[in-house]
Amino acid sequence: MTGSAPSWIYPTPANPAAPVLRDAQVESWRGSGFAFVSGLFEVELIERLRADALARFPPPASTAAAGIADFGSGGTLVFPSSSDAFNAVTLHPRLLAAIGQLLGVPTTELRLTQADLWPKYGQTRAPGARDNDEQRMHVDYPNHTLVHPSPWTRPEAVELILYLDRVEECGGATALVPREGADDPDYRWPIVDSPGIGDLDWINDRTHAEAYFARERPELAAWRQRLYARERQGHFAPGDVLLYRHDLWHRGTPLRPGRMRVVQNVTYRKAAAEWISTLHVGWAWSAYQPSKVFERLIAQASLEQRAVLGFPQPGSDYWCPETIAAVEARYGVHGIDMTPYRAR
């Protein structure tokens, strides 16, 4: 961990009404690779979500915390969840509207591919090569897409981190490298100079990763040091959201020892970008739960919320008198209204 003080980036407030994101926020995401936003969600919803998260994960001082995976919730809090607050955040109309603004498509042309809430704990032991405490500089696309991101002017997905804690209390800020125009030398094409891509070993810890590069690829090691020199860190509070791209250079920084941070990660893609994978088991796998959480969610969702889960929209070739009646038979007891599908 470096001893220099971070160069902070502070969130800017979203619009209270439509359009959700301000022009400067959209331009920041499209040009620099990220938008750091506050006020996207209701305060009460964020408080309920954090309470649900703390009820599910052990506190940092407990023995159980040592056994928690370093990344992801291990299925504890993924979509669809028994936490109504988690589901509400994932499918929040303001969030969908914001993602649509960034990608320049209607919300019905979005598809959910990731929704996972997970804890990170501050470490006191020496890190191993795969540890997540202080990450190496990287891009996220390799485990999200089968291919490589399209050119910068043709974005296909938005990933986000929703913070539920205060950086002053827990540390663990996200460091990122803002892109500076089409000729930025540190965003050279193709983006393959990250651990785990091509023949490069996957190493997560910064110290181990950069030692590997210094030993195996000295020229690349020197180039990567420029990324660290340029990094800035997001100064977060509960409810702040970092919206970013899969081709943005970024990394996680260490938490304070003995502290805990919880965040929710969500990713949406354009419906046409089928090469971007869904990171979880299919949503329908949640059917048959005693709570009927999935069935109730589908029945009570808006048309736009159903669309981002892959549910066919009114006018789809799927719909005919027989399928309308059959879907109504499945979800009618939970209150689904099939009128929009019949009307088309």
Return the minimum-mean-pLDDT range out of 14-18, 57-61, 117-121, 150-154: 57-61
What fold does the segment set 8-280 form as a domain?
Answer: Jelly Rolls (2.60.120)
Residue 90 pLDDT greater than 70, yes or no: yes
Query: Is-cis flag, bond preceding 80, omega within 30?
Result: yes
CA atoms of 338 and 301, how far apart (whole Å): 12
- Per-residue confidence band for 64, with pLDDT thresholds at 50, 70 and 90: low
pLDDT for the residue numbered 1? 43
pLDDT for the residue numbered 65? 64
- What is the average pLDDT across 56-78? 75
SS (H, E, C) 67-131: HCCCCCCCCCCECCCCCHHHHHHHCCHHHHHHHHHHHCCCHHHEEEEEEEEEEEECCCCCCCCCC
Q: Which helix (H) or strand (E) holds 162?
A: strand 157-163
Give me the residues paired with residue 242 across strands: 36, 161
Residue 199 pLDDT greater than 50, yes or no: yes
Percent of the chain with pLDDT over 90: 88
Q: Amino acid letter at 26?
A: V
Four-residue CA torsion sign, 101, 105, 111, 114 = negative
| 245, two tokens | 């791209």
Sketch the domain layout of the chain as residue ranges.
Answer: 8-280, 282-344
Give the helix ranges, DSSP H, for 187-261: 206-216, 218-230
**224 neighbors 151 (Cβ within 8 angstroms):** no
| 309, two tokens | 């889960």
Residue 141 pLDDT greater than 90, yes or no: yes
**20 neighbors 14 (Cβ within 8 angstroms):** yes
Residue 3 pLDDT greater than 60, yes or no: no
pTM: 0.95
- Work out the mean pLDDT of the chain and round it to a whole number: 94
| 135, two tokens | 């990450």
